[in-house]
């Protein structure tokens, strides 16, 4: 029998053990036998085992070499492919089209990992366990305290839905905060086609606009977009970034490209 694995702080490890929570997660994912799925950070296989019970094959991405050895020892390669890799650098496109992604993401890399995954266009959906505060930011509406750069960047590409909250005692060791399950579903390709060419420009505009939350767009975007340009597309330069919709940011991005802005399909303002 394997020695107990001690959670490593540098990997942000908190292992899920609550069976009722695991069952609820699997029910939300609804894995189908022949689907292509990858689990990020399988850890002690708490979610891996029930997923494999419903799948012909599962891929996992794990950085901890001790856990990699356990996974390779416990599961047949025909059913589980273990990629010993950093998920932040992993090429998810290599796993094929119509990919479903799941995982209990380490809190310390959740935002950069989400941004990394957003660059791939082979995803059907993603289900993640994350810190509740992060999920609230991901799903936040404009003009709310939680709305920010993460909200805009993800909602430009995905429908974001918080499914349910998971308490600390569902993990070992127990984190100090609540977690939550979130579902991200890519928006229709025709609605986000503009992002293929404008992604870096869009990211730069959003990051600069939120760089000083209490300042107005007139100040945060100075040198990038003039107040006159904003006024010309009916965006008040005296507004703050947190009041803008994804469609507003898409309009501002078009200005930086020297385009005549037209509302991005699928991101029309209410």
The b-or-e profile of 198-222 (16+ CB within 10 A means b, else e) is bbebbbebbebbbeeeeebbbebbe
**Domain annotation covers residue 262:** no
Q: Does residue 119 lie within any of the structural domains? A: yes
Q: DSSP label at 240?
A: B
At 13, the pLDDT band (50, 70, 90 cuts) reads low
Write the DSSP string, 180-237.
Answer: EEEEEEEPPGGGSHHHHHHHHHHHHHHHHHTTTTTSBHHHHTTTTS-HHHHHHTT--T
Residue 211 located in a structural domain? yes
Once rounded to an integer, what is the mean pLDDT over residues 65-90? 97
Report pLDDT digits (tens) over 181-193.
999 999 999 999 8
pLDDT tens figures, 197-248: 899 999 999 999 999 989 999 999 999 999 999 999 999 999 999 999 999 9
**Predicted pLDDT at 196:** 82
Residue 158 lies in a domain: yes
Which residues are within 8 A (CB) of 198 and not within 5 positions of it... i.e. 6 or more apart?
A: 250, 253, 254, 257
101-139 per-residue burial string, b: 16 or more CB within 10 A, e: under 16: bbbbbbbebbbebbeebbebeebebbbbbbbbebbbbbb
Does one domain contain both 101 and 226? no
pLDDT at 119 over 80: yes
Whether residue 239 sits in one domain with residue 137:
no
Q: 126 and 225: one domain?
A: no
CATH of the domain at 222: 1.10.8.100
What digits encode the pLDDT tens for the residues 18-33?
999 999 999 999 999 9
For position 76, what pLDDT does the model report? 97
Q: Please report whether residue 267 resides in a domain.
A: no
**Domain termination site, one of 187, 217, 233:** 187
Query: Quick one: 39 and 172 in the same domain?
Result: yes
> Is residue 2 in a domain?
no
**Does residue 141 sit in the same domain as residue 232?**
no
Rounded Cα gap, residues 208 and 4, in angstroms: 46
Q: Which residue has the higher pLDDT, 106 or 76?
A: 76
Together in a domain, 183 and 222: no
- Percentage of the chain modeled with pLDDT above 70: 91
Percent of the chain topping pLDDT 90: 80
134 and 243, same domain (yes or no): no
Q: Is residue 208 part of a domain?
A: yes
User: Which pLDDT does position 183 carry in this prediction?
Assistant: 98
Q: What is the pLDDT of residue 262?
A: 56
| 121-154 pLDDT, tens digit each | 999 999 999 999 999 999 999 999 999 999 999 9
pLDDT at 50 over 80: yes
> Is 168 among the domain residues?
yes
Instruction: Name the burial class of residue 153, with classes exposed (0-12), middle (13-18) and buried (19+) by CB atoms within 10 angstroms of its CB.
Output: buried
Question: Per mean pLDDT, which range of 157-166, 171-180, 197-206, 226-235 is the poorest?
Answer: 171-180
Q: What are phi and psi of 46, to 5 degrees?
A: -60, -40
Q: Domain span at residue 231?
A: 193-256
Residues 115 and 210 in one domain: no
Report the pLDDT averaged over residues 62-66: 94
Domains of the chain: total: 2
3-state secondary structure of 146: coil
H-only helix segments in the chain? 19-29, 48-52, 65-74, 110-117, 132-139, 149-155, 193-209, 217-220, 227-232, 246-256
| Greatest Cα-to-Cα distance within the chain, rounded to the nearest angstrom | 70
Same-domain pairing of 220 and 161? no
Confidence at residue 8, expressed as pLDDT on a 0 to 100 scale = 44
* Same domain? 163 vs 237: no
Answer yes or no: do 159 and 107 share one domain.
yes
pLDDT in tens, 40-49: 999 899 999 9
* Residue-level pLDDT at 257: 82
pLDDT tier, 261 (very low <50, low <70, confident <90, very high otherwise): low
Q: Among residues 146, 162, 187, which one ends one of the domains?
A: 187
């Amino acid at each position: 029998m394997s020695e107990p694995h001690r959670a490593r702080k540098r990997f942000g490890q908190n292992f899920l053990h609550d069976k009722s929570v695991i069952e609820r997660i699997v029910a939300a994912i609804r894995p189908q036998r022949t689907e292509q799925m990858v689990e990020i950070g399988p850890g002690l296989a708490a979610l891996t085992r029930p997923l494999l019970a419903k799948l012909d094959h599962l891929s996992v991405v794990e950085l901890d070499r001790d856990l990699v050895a356990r996974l390779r020892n416990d599961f047949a390669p025909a059913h589980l492919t273990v990629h010993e890799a950093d998920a932040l650098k992993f090429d998810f496109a290599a796993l094929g089209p119509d990919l479903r992604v799941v995982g209990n993401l380490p809190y310390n890399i959740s935002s950069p990992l989400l941004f990394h995954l957003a660059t791939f266009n082979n995803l059907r959906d993603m289900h993640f366990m994350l810190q509740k505060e992060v999920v609230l930011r991901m799903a936040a509406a404009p003009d709310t305290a939680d709305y920010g750069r993460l909200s805009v960047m993800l909602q430009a590409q995905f429908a974001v839905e918080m499914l349910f909250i998971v308490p600390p005692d569902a993990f070992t060791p127990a984190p100090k905060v609540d977690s939550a399950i979130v579902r991200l579903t890519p928006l229709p390709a025709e609605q986000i086609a503009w992002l293929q060419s404008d992604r870096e420009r869009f990211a730069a505009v959003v990051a600069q606009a939120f760089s000083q939350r209490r300042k107005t767009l007139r100040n945060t975007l100075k040198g990038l977009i003039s107040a006159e340009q904003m006024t010309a597309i009916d965006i008040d330069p005296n507004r703050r970034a947190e009041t803008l919709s994804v469609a507003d940011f898409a309009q501002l991005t078009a200005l930086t490209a020297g385009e005549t802005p037209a509302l991005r399909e699928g991101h029309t303002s209410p």
